[in-house]
Chain A
Amino acid sequence: MAQNSLSKDQNFFLKIIKKQIFIPIAALLVLMLFNLIADPSFFRVELGTSSLGYPVLKGNLITILDNASELVILSIGMTLVTSASGGQDISVGAAIALAGSVVLRVLCGTETRPDHLHAPIIVAFLICCIVAMLFGAFNGVLVAYFKLQPMVATLILFTAGRSIAAWINNNQLPIISEPKFGYFGNFFPGIAIPSPIFIAILFMIITALIMRFTKLSLFTQAVGINAESSRLNGINPQFIKFITYVILGFCVAVAGFIKVSRLSTINYSVIAKDIEMDAILAVALGGNALSGGKFSISSSIIGAYVIQFLTITLYKFEVPAAALPAYKAIVVIILVVLSAPVVRKKLADMKKNFAAKEAN
């Protein structure tokens, strides 16, 4: 009887450990535990005032959720691109600069300090979406139809994107004084939670609905696992690959919009710098194979939060900004190795052997 329940527990445990989402969640929990032990005040959330004078929530947790928003949105698109094309888009950082620049160009016209907006914000957002998706489509065409390696194909925009972004605004750095524009990256008046969190949640809900009501995930995975087989089953692998890049383009547009809204201005060379690497990392941390195929978007999303949690934790421990990447690298290597299928299998085997011994 006792043995039975033991093995049942073990089975349950094995099942959990085998789930792809286990590693990112475990990493998140470990980070939380670490902070809880080191300094419980890390989790304190208190009421502060926003720059506009409204009462808002402040605290590390809020900062993490807030700052992770762009990364979460990007990681969704990056997961799809990775799955279908077996490669990653390294141009998303540059594309965000581009998208942000388009928003400012539309809102400011040619002025650098406009006293009024030249177009409604929604128009600026839509145009930014179109432009970002076009650039996504450009990458998609190179990858899907010209069969370039994704990294090589996206290297083009990676290199050129920020210059194009600067060129769009004649190398000016327009600043928008209209407070309404800042709502999307900061707070809506009267709401105590940063808006990017809502945008990210909305994005996740939309993604969940798309995954639920279309078979995008089945088709994407099928193409990623075996493109020829998919083709013979009537799927158009090129189109699926292409469309994932366009979807990532949309993610870039939203992320770029949030980014410029946060500051109401743009710095072409710094905005969203290295975010592509974090997005790829989020996908990897989620236990998704970077060579494509099966994927779990929720794991990538948690992976994105883990990265942000880690960054804020390191800030909290006053790691100098310059040394941050090195510390991050150490944690990342541990996580990625742990989530490697080889290691996970080994761990599961070890657990099983242990259970078997105990049963004897």
Chain B
Amino acid sequence: MQDDVILRLEGICKEFPGVKALSNVQFTLHKGEIHALMGENGAGKSTLIKVLTGVYQKDAGSIYMDGAPVTINSTQDAQKSGISTVYQEITLCPNLTVAENMYIGRTNEMTTSWKKMNAGAKQLLDSLQIPASPTQQLSDCSIAVQQMVAIARAVDMDCKVLILDEPTSSLDEREVEKLFKLMTDLKSRGVGIIFVTHFLDQVYSVCDRITVLRDGTFVGDYLISELPRVQLVSKMMGKELDSFEDIKQEEIADTIDRRSEPVFEATGLSSAAGVNPYDFTIRKGEVNGFTGLLGSGRSESVRAIYGADKVTGGRVMMDGKEVKIKKPIDAMKQGIGYLPEDRKHDGIIGDLSVKDNIILALQVMKGMFRPISKADAEKFADEYIKLLGIKTASAETPIKSLSGGNQQKCILARWLLTNPVYLILDEPTRGIDVGTKLEIQKLVLKLASEGKSVTFISSEIDEMLHVCKRLIVMRDRHVVGELTGGDLTQTKIMSTIAGGEKK
């Protein structure tokens, strides 16, 4: 195995104005291996991938394919050298068929033989066991299948190196399983796979080797068996981690008064997004969570609380008084804050500055005619940039140029500034590095200890267990269970999600 190196990067340097994104980074990929590229946000993973795929041009260093040096100046060069990439966001055309997507831009003939194309696509899909038909429109497939089609396209382009950049972040567990099966299948065909992900579990279940980057430098290249998780995390963060366990030890005493009036209470709440009527209560200082597979309706449920989708029924009480929450502003006036799942589309206002993004919700609550003064806005922004440790050049920097984790902190700051009594956080830690994840978890617990109520949603059950005192389990848009205390274990949650006790 040591001999069949297909891709070798040496001494890669890349500098952006003011930032050294990569300095002297090396990377080696063998034939038929799945190689995880790990690092926190800003460690240089994306930059390295982009150098490799020709999106960026390296400042120094060399790339060898099969031992021969290659120059990659454009994405075409990369494809010709046999490097294909599947990005986190699907870059296919949803309005074309599966087969069209697989062959688009690749046929050289003047005319297209649809029959041949569909037949070819079918053969490939079958051989990779992808559950899609060539003539199906891509948008009709699930995200996971779309992802697989993208991979099939890459594979068919005769790739030797396949780069998967966070392919699993929008997939649920079953879909991830399928994707992993496809990956191992490709691996046995001798394709070298570079796998970029934030999920440690996934790394350990499918990868052979790990390369760790930190602050644009190469930390090391390890066999998976030689690097236990805690070690990996500490290598990524560059310090001995005070371990995930610490959070547990910080357990706040159960100060929640069960008899007190709930902060928020809903009965028979349902929304146009297809959530079946459910009841829900949360008390002062409580952290609860909604869990379930992707598409189980957990996001839709909290959106109904916030009035983000059209509420179709149910009664809502805040502090024992009945209130009407029909649209987001109603919820905000009641002191509810909502951090949406899709940061890019629902959270940030990309072109606006960090400052404007932070003051936005407070400003909206005050109304258009009572502006927050410039001085106050700057004060608020600086305060929260410091408090949450937001890494930004200045408060005037457009938020879109920040890394994902820092964007998320800005959105958190936005809501903290409104001093909410009840905060809904839908996947606040998705696509965020381990360090920031821990910070956010700690922040949630701190907020709770200050008497705020928080609903916390995460795809990672681990994380939910660390943070939540009570879990509401959803399946197929129904609430199927509520777990507290001793029931809060992985196995119990899994079995509740899987269900099967009734019927």
Could you list which residues of chain A lie within 8 angstroms of chain B, going by C-beta atoms?
213-216, 218-219, 221-222, 225-226, 228-236, 293-294, 352
Is B161 an interface residue when CB atoms closer than 8 A count as contact?
A: no
Q: Is the Cβ of B364 less than 8 Å from the Cβ of A233? A: yes
CA separation between A235 and B366, bound complex, in Å? 11
Is B52 an interface residue when CB atoms closer than 8 A count as contact?
A: no
Q: How far is the CB of B499 from chain A (nearest CB, A)?
A: 31
Contact of A294 among B332, B338, B352 (CB under 8 A): B352
CA separation between A229 and B328, bound complex, in Å? 11
CA separation between A154 and B76, bound complex, in Å? 43
Q: Is the Cβ of A234 less than 8 Å from the Cβ of B328? A: yes
Which residue of the partner chain B has the closest CB to A219? B368
CA separation between A226 and B338, bound complex, in Å? 16
Q: Which residues of A contact B347 (CB under 8 A)?
A: 229, 232
| For the complex of A and B, 5 pairs with smallest distance between CB atoms | A234-B329, A234-B364, A215-B371, A234-B332, A225-B351
CA separation between A226 and B342, bound complex, in Å? 12
Is B121 an interface residue when CB atoms closer than 8 A count as contact?
A: no
Is B287 an interface residue when CB atoms closer than 8 A count as contact?
A: no
Q: Is the Cβ of B361 less than 8 Å from the Cβ of A234? A: yes
Q: How far is the CB of B360 from chain A (nearest CB, A)?
A: 5
**Number of residues of chain B lying within 8 A (CB) of chain A:** 28
Q: Which residues of B contact A218 (CB under 8 A)?
A: 352, 356, 360, 363
Is B348 an interface residue when CB atoms closer than 8 A count as contact?
A: yes
Q: Which residues of A contact B332 (CB under 8 A)?
A: 233-234
CA separation between A213 and B369, bound complex, in Å? 7
CA separation between A219 and B361, bound complex, in Å? 11
Q: Which residues of A contact B308 (CB under 8 A)?
A: 231-232
Contact of B338 among A213, A225, A232, A235 (CB under 8 A): A232
Is B365 an interface residue when CB atoms closer than 8 A count as contact?
A: yes
CA separation between A225 and B332, bound complex, in Å? 21
Q: Is the Cβ of A215 less than 8 Å from the Cβ of B363? A: yes
Interface string of B333-360 (1 = CB under 8 A from A): 0000010100001111111100010001
CA separation between A241 and B414, bound complex, in Å? 24
Q: Is the Cβ of B368 less than 8 Å from the Cβ of A215? A: yes
Q: Is the Cβ of A225 less than 8 Å from the Cβ of B352? A: yes
Q: A222-B360, A234-B328, A294-B351 are in contact. Are A229 and B345 (CB under 8 A)?
A: yes
Q: A232-B340, A236-B329 are in contact. Are A216 and B368 (CB under 8 A)?
A: yes
Which residue of the partner chain A has the closest CB to B332? A234
Q: Which residues of A contact B414 (CB under 8 A)?
A: 233
Q: Is the Cβ of B349 less than 8 Å from the Cβ of A230? A: yes
Q: Is the Cβ of B364 less than 8 Å from the Cβ of A235? A: yes
The 14 sampled A-B contact pairs (Cβ below 8 Å) are A213-B371, A214-B368, A221-B349, A221-B351, A222-B360, A225-B351, A226-B348, A229-B347, A230-B349, A231-B327, A232-B338, A232-B347, A233-B332, A233-B364
A215-B363, A218-B356 known; 5 other A-B pairs, CB under 8 Å? A214-B368, A229-B340, A233-B364, A234-B332, A293-B351
Q: How far is the CB of B422 from chain A (nearest CB, A)?
A: 15
Contact of A233 among B328, B350, B351, B372 (CB under 8 A): B328
Q: How far is the CB of A144 from chain B (nearest CB, A)?
A: 15
Q: How far is the CB of B44 from chain A (nearest CB, A)?
A: 23
Q: How far is the CB of A211 from chain B (nearest CB, A)?
A: 10
Q: Which residues of A contact B327 (CB under 8 A)?
A: 231, 234, 236
Choose among B338, B352, B368, B414 the residue with the greatest number of A CB atoms under 10 Å from its CB. B368
Q: Is the Cβ of B350 less than 8 Å from the Cβ of A225? A: yes
CA separation between A222 and B364, bound complex, in Å? 11
Q: Is the Cβ of B368 less than 8 Å from the Cβ of A231? A: no
